[in-house]
Amino acid sequence: MAFPRFTEEQIKAMIQGPSDIEWRYEMRRECQEILPNLYLGPIMASKSLETLQSLGITHIVCIRDEKEAFSVRPRFPERFSYMVLDVQDNEEQNLIRLFPGAKAFIDSAIAQGGRALVHCNGGISLSPAFVVMFVMQHHQLSWEEALHFVQNRRYCISPNTGFLTQIKEYEAIYKANIAVSSYPATHRTVARRKREVDDDDEDISREDDRKRILVSEPSFEQDPNAMETS
């Protein structure tokens, strides 16, 4: 099983978000389904075994500040598969470096027919940043579209300034990766071979230059005290 693909019109409608949801303050303590089988929420959602089972959750990404390790932790390791990411919840934390591992974990969960919950302590800044990047790459959206996509399902999210900057940077990264992977393999092979040939030609040219220098330079030093004859 994998995440379904949608048409451009469907994605536009999805970015706008469900029109029948009336957001209530207490909903920030719950988790919301962002994509089919992918949920985002706070620690409260991860502490209720009844809630997790009713949603069919099978995999949980637990993202926490290192200082929160005592309280933000896997609660039911015998029942669910966990990925724990210890980070610093500040603007200097590098999320882009950690994202590929989290994405692979979520992709694997969905491929196995499971459901994944991504949570941090409050579900406001840290875990939403990961989910925004996931949505952005999955649907190949701009960072603004992805942010609206997630925000229109969990209205209370607000990634801090540093995380928002990294979300913007990740748009360029994933698009570059797509461009490289979509470039025909034959062209990449030809380009690589051309570089190798050019490198070989450059090596030969440098060797020839060295030989010419050795031939042109005299093999003796002139004695400055020697008499000159006309």
- Catalytic residue positions? 120
Residues 6+ apart with CB under 8 A from 98: 85, 87, 130
Alpha helix locations (H) across 89-160? 99-111, 126-139, 143-151
- Number of other CB atoms surrounding residue 127 within 10 Å: 29
Show the CA angle centred on residue 127, arms to residues 124 and 131, nearest 5°. Answer: 110
Going by the DSSP 8-state scheme, the letter that residue 78 receives in this structure is T
Closest CA to 146 of 11, 5, 8: 11
